[in-house]
Chains A and B, each alone.
Chain A
Amino acid sequence: DIQMTQSPSTLSASVGDTVTITCRASQSISYWLAWYQQKPGKAPKLLIYKASSLESGVPSRFSGSGSGTEFTLTITSLQPDDFATYYCQQSNRYPLTFGGGTKVGIK
């Protein structure tokens, strides 16, 4: 199975900050990487797919980059609604696997 490792597992930031989350795959997954946002008690929401494509309706302050084994999610000018947990997911090979999550909290 492809292991997905996210870092950091938690981070504290302030409104207006730029935040970067990293996701590493245990083997190359090309660009088959998605990012999700999840708030407590809610289902995850797709933000980014194919490493850098923005899902329809998602604010442009979210961006993704990377290919192969290393990927990043960047949130520019963090907003109050962005405090949540973020997950990466590879879809290059089954079984599909997710990262362990990064919780973005308020500093």
Chain B
Amino acid sequence: EVQLVESGGGLVQPGGSLRLSCAASGFTFSSSWMHWVRQAPGMGLVWVSRINIDGTTTTYADSVEGRFTISRDNAKSTLYLQMNSLRDEDTAVYYCVIPQSGTAAADPFNYWGQGTLVTVSS
């Protein structure tokens, strides 16, 4: 059974940093692209970032480019999101997600973690 378990969320002040983790199991993590999607309270879904299978290719939404860094440790089957210079508007539930085939850029997301809440507030 595929499992994605996010952790690392919490309350942080504006300008602060936080690192999210996503522990993956039940599939071949090292063969799958991975993504982060976020959802502000009461709002819609927003794609944040993606990383390829060996971590050499990353893509970001404009809103987080230069502040967030996605990375992975295939030996630990874990995905990360380092978030720096956090802003109020980064407050959201952050989901770790897997594309359907694992490798195709246009695949939809058929597995989602339960999400971890990040609250940016003074």
The interface stretch among B9-17, B23-31, B100-108 is B100-108
The residues of B that contact A44 with a CB separation of less than 8 Å are: 45, 95, 109, 112
B62 — nearest CB in chain A belongs to which residue?
A: A95
The residues of B that contact A34 with a CB separation of less than 8 Å are: 108-109
The residues of B that contact A100 with a CB separation of less than 8 Å are: 44
B44-A99 in contact (CB<8A): yes
Size class of the contact patch on chain B: 20 to 34
Question: By the criterion of a CB under 8 Å from any partner CB, how many residues of chain A are at the interface?
Answer: 23
| Chain A facing B: main interface SS | loop
Asked if A96 meets B44 with Cβ closer than 8 Å, knowing A43-B113, A43-B115, the reply is no
Q: Is A84 an interface residue (CB 8 A)?
A: no
Give bound CA distance, A40 to B6, whole Å.
18
The residues of B that contact A36 with a CB separation of less than 8 Å are: 45, 109
A43 — nearest CB in chain B belongs to which residue?
A: B112
Give bound CA distance, A45 to B112, whole Å.
8
A97-B47 in contact (CB<8A): yes
> Would you list the 5 A-B pairs with minimal beta carbon distance, nearest first?
A34-B108, A43-B112, A96-B47, A91-B106, A49-B108
